Structure 1
Amino acid sequence: MFQQWRRRRLVKRVKPGDGRPLKRFRWWQQLNRGLMYLRADAAEGRVAEYAVDVGYLGDAQTGEVTARLYADGRLQAWSKTPVIFPVPGGTIEVATSVFGLKRCHFVDQAGTEHQLVPDPKSAEGRRARLERHHPVVSRWVGVVAVVLLVLGLTQVLLQLAEQLTAIPPIAEGIGAFHSPVQLPLWVTIALGVGAVVGSMERALRLRYHWLLDAAAS
């Protein structure tokens, strides 16, 4: 019931577009823009090609990250994220994290999910091309990203446990915890940077885990 209520709320926040044309993706927008496509499909009842355009830096005044839905290159609807756009044959669900997209999928009426196709000039499109042309390299890059996140998360949890058990009532009840790993400052900073890089790489593939990626935020 909660999920149904949440979906209705995300649909209701959609506002109509003004028909303005979709701007081409430029090379300097690699870090601040995502552009994904859902091709026309007569079998699904979609006679138009849809595009989802997301600005990662947010609105200059409100700071809200906005997703815009285009049909055949014209602005049809828009909303702050997360959002669900109704389209023929299903819905397009869009959600973001601080590192980029974490979800941009078409969900048909049977509940089957299909990830939208990134613009080939975008960072997501370049990452998808690496996966197609060099799958082994792509897998290793993904493994390294997860390792960086796990190391960063472990360090955060150890520090958090040490700080919590330093509180007098807790220390008196269960004793103080001292991390067995004492790292130099530069290593701690490097682990933090590595976790951010790992989350950025995963965002390019629309991979998101509530614990791993949220901890790097």
Structure 2
Amino acid sequence: MNLKNIGDRIKYCRKIAKLTRPDLLRKYNFSQSTLNQYELNIKNPSDQKINELLDIFKNENVIVSLQWLKNGIGETPKEFKNTDLITQNMLTINNIPLIDSLQLIDIEKQLILKLYPNAITGVCDNFELEPTVKFSDEVAGIPCDLNKIRNLEDVLCLVKYKNKIYIKVVNKINEDNTINLIGINPKKASASFYLSNVTPDVIAPVIWIRKNPDDYI
């Protein structure tokens, strides 16, 4: 399949998700006519619609990044294999219901937010932090005093900047207290691999990383 156009990439993700156009209307109230215009490359989706489609695909267990869907940059999407269904088919433990791995991750995340109400959580949406953080891994960090960011050089952080959360390493702290952010793996670099002179709204050193369960099979 030709994936040079955004419409082709949207259709590709929809096929991986095993969704028909009526499915998107029924499950997510996403207009069939609008989707048809996108997939036929008659009209390009807005950033808001792209984010809406990303949420739909992720909800349907398709691992896809913003960079790939919008610009065709990075690795092609893949289906998230639900290891919990495999586990439940293989194991029966005294008829006690199993808690699946995604539920366990969510329980941990809620505990962090209970212990640290100001904590920031996020999901890695690129491949540039491998092998430390992989695509779709969950992370959390605790915000620190912006006046003390000089201690954070070479530290992996969640950074809120211009209404977006980035997961980056603090590469350099400049004299004016702006910071330069960088990924880890230049071979997997996205368009935002290196960000310079950033004035963060919030910066939170990462304290928790949970791997995507799909990485273990």
Q: Please tell me whether Structure 1 or Structure 2 has the larger radius of gyration of its CA atoms.
A: 1
Q: TM-score normalised to the size of structure 1?
A: 0.23
